[in-house]
A and B are shown apart, each in its own frame.
Chain A
C-alpha cells in the first residue's frame, strides 16, 4: 500500500505539487497519468524519499521514506526516471550488486539473481557487459535490478519510454505477473494506450493536482466519453503533452 497524503512541493518559484492525495493498493496496478510537467516524477521521487515534500507525507506500508528511508525502501523496487547502467559490469554483477545493497547474501542472493534473470528472459545477456545494449535490453536490466529482492511495492517512472512493441509487451507481462503475486504497483506514464491496457486504477494528474481518479471505465463514464483518451483530454482541459 502506497499512500500519498496532501503533498505539496515547490522548487523556487515553480509550484510542482499542491495538496496531492491518492493511494495505490496492493495487488493492483495504479497508473499515474499526466502530461509532461504534471509533477509525476517529482511525486514518485518524494515517495521513495529522494525529494522532501514541503508539507504532507508519503507512506509506503505506513512508513515515511523521508523519515525512515532505509526501512521504507527495503520493501520497494524502483525503476527511476533515469536509469544508467554500469557499463563495465556484466548484467549479473549489476543485479547482484543491487541485491547485496538490499541486504541479500549467500544462497538467497544467488537464487534471487538467477530467478530474476530467468523471469526477464535475459539469460543470454547475463554475462555480457551492458555497454552497447539496446533500449529494450537496458530496460530489462533496470527492471531486474528493481525486482531482485522481490519487493512488495514497485514504482516505475515511465518504464515504456523508448521501447518497441515487443519490449513493451514483455514489460506488461511482467507487471501483470507481479500484480498476480500481490505486489502494489505504481507507475507513471503519459501514454494513454498503456494505461488503458494495464491499469486497474488511474490517477490523472495535471498541474500538480489530482484531476480525477478511478478505473478507466469510471473515468469514461465520468466524462461521458467512450475512449479513455477523450476522457483524459476533457479532464485535464487540454490535449497538450499527451501521446496517444
Chain B
C-alpha cells in the first residue's frame, strides 16, 4: 500500500511552500548556533584574560629579587586602593630578609588574605604558588652549594597528570551545544506537525481526508514522516552549521579542541532519526487533539519543556546512571557526549535507546491512528 507515500509527499510539498514552517525550521537551526558562538566568544575572552594579580606588598625594598620573581609571574604591586568590599591581599616582607637569606635561616613572610572569598581564590593561589616556587628555587641553590643533590629532599615526587583531555574540557562547554542539537528535532518539525494536524482540522479538510479509502494508520504514517523530514532537515542544518560557526570561535585559546569529523556528524544524524520520529509523533499526538492551530501551539509549547528539562537537567546536574544510556533522548545525549569527548561510545546503549525511541514513536503513531477512527476526536464531540 503506497497511500502513506502519497500523503507523505503531499504534506512535505505543502509544508515546503509554507513560509512560516520553513522559517521556523531554519531559523532555529541558524540563529541558535550563532547565539551560542557569540556567548562562547565572551566566555573565552574572559577566561583568557591575562591581567596581572595586583596585591599590596609591604617592605618590598628588603627583597627586590622576590618582587622581581613575583612580577615575572604577573603578580605586581597595587597602585590603586582596594575597593571597600574586597579584603586586601597583603604580603609583608620582614626587614631581616637579606640577613636571613645570607645566613640561610628561615624567614617568616606573611600573606594576609581571605581564603574563603570565591572571587579571590585564584589570585591568592597564584601568589602562594609563586612564593613556594621561589622558596624551592633558593633551597635548590643552597643544596647545590653544599654539594648535595637537591633530589634528596624530594623523596616522593607527585606527578600530576591532568586526565582532562582537551576534548573532555571542551565537552563541558559543548554540552550545551549538544543539547541544542538534540532539541533541533523537536523545534524544526513543530510547525509542520501542528499545521498538518490541528491546521488540517481548522481548514476543514480533515473530514474529507478521513473519508478517503485510506486507512487512518496510513494517513498518520504519512504525516509523521513528512513532519519528521522537516525535523531532520533542521537537525541536518544545525549539524552542518555548528562546525562551521565554531571554527571561528577561538576555542584553542582556552586549550580546547573540538573536532567535528564527518563520521561523527553522520553518527549524530543517524542517532537523531528515531528521535525525530518520536518528537513528531508526540507533537502530532498532542495537536490532533487540539481544535485549532493556536490551541495546538499552546499544548506543544508545554510539551517542549519535557525534552528541554530532561536534557538540560542531565547536562547540568551531571547525572550519572547507566540507565541514561538506554532511554530515549538521554541515550542519544550520552552518545553525543561520548563522541565529543573522544571516548568509546557505548554502542549497546546507543542501539537500545534507538530501538526504544523507535518503539515509542511507532506506538504513538498507532495510537494516533486509532484516535482518528474515533468520532470523538475527529469531530471534537
Chain A interfacial positions (CB closer than 8 Å to B):
11-12, 48-52, 69-74, 76, 78, 80-89, 93, 97-98, 100-103, 142, 145
Contact = CB atoms under 8 A, between A and B. Distances in A.
Contacts of B211: 48-50, 73, 78, 80
A82 B204 contact: yes
A84 B208 contact: yes
Contacts of B252: none
A145 B205 CA distance: 12
A233 to B, nearest CB: 31
B204 A83 contact: yes
B208 A101 contact: no
B208 A89 contact: no
11 contacts: A12-B381, A49-B211, A50-B210, A51-B379, A70-B213, A81-B207, A84-B204, A85-B203, A100-B3, A103-B3, A103-B213
Contacts of A89: 10, 13-14, 17
B201 to A, nearest CB: 9
Contacts of B7: 101
Interface in B182-210: 200, 203-208, 210
A70 B375 contact: no
A196 to B, nearest CB: 28
Nearest to A12: B381
Interface residues of B, number: 25
A83 B208 CA distance: 7
Given A89-B13, A89-B14, A101-B212, A50 B381 contact: no
B214 A86 contact: no
B17 A88 contact: yes
Contacts of B379: 50-51
Given A50-B378, A98-B212, A85 B205 contact: yes
Nearest to B206: A84
A135 to B, nearest CB: 13
A219 to B, nearest CB: 30
Nearest to A89: B14
A71 B381 CA distance: 26
B191 to A, nearest CB: 13
Given A70-B215, A78-B211, A103-B213, A88 B14 contact: yes
Interface string B26-68: 0000000000000000000000000000000000000000000
Contacts of B205: 83-86
Contacts of B343: none
Q: Which of B10, B13, B215 has the most CB of A within 10 A?
A: B10
Interface string B209-230: 0111111000000000000000
Given A84-B205, A93-B10, 14 more contacts: A48-B211, A50-B375, A70-B213, A73-B212, A81-B207, A82-B204, A83-B208, A86-B10, A86-B203, A88-B17, A88-B18, A89-B13, A97-B10, A101-B3
Nearest to A75: B213
B208 A80 contact: yes
Nearest to B378: A50
Q: Which of A12, A83, A88, A103 has the most CB of B within 10 A?
A: A88
A11 B6 CA distance: 34
Contacts of B375: 50-52
A86 B206 CA distance: 11
A101 B378 contact: no
A93 B7 CA distance: 12
Nearest to A87: B203
A86 B14 contact: yes
Nearest to B214: A101
Nearest to B19: A88
Contacts of B214: 70, 101
Contacts of A142: 208
Nearest to A9: B375
Contacts of A12: 381
A97 B11 CA distance: 10
A12 B376 CA distance: 11
Nearest to B202: A84
Contact of A145 (B18, B208, B381): B208
Given A100-B6, A101-B3, A11 B381 contact: yes
Q: Which of B6, B215, B379 has the most CB of A within 10 A?
A: B6
A70 B375 CA distance: 17
B295 to A, nearest CB: 17
Contact of B213 (A85, A97, A102): A102
Q: What 6 A-B pairs come out closest when comparing CB atoms?
A: A84-B204, A84-B205, A82-B204, A84-B203, A73-B213, A88-B17
Contact of A78 (B13, B18, B208, B381): B208
Interface in B279-314: none
A87 B204 CA distance: 12
A98 B208 CA distance: 10
B18 A101 contact: no
A142 B208 CA distance: 9
Interface string B341-381: 00000000000000000000000000000000001001101
A97 B213 CA distance: 13
A70 B3 CA distance: 12
A10 B204 CA distance: 23
A37 to B, nearest CB: 15
A103 B211 CA distance: 14
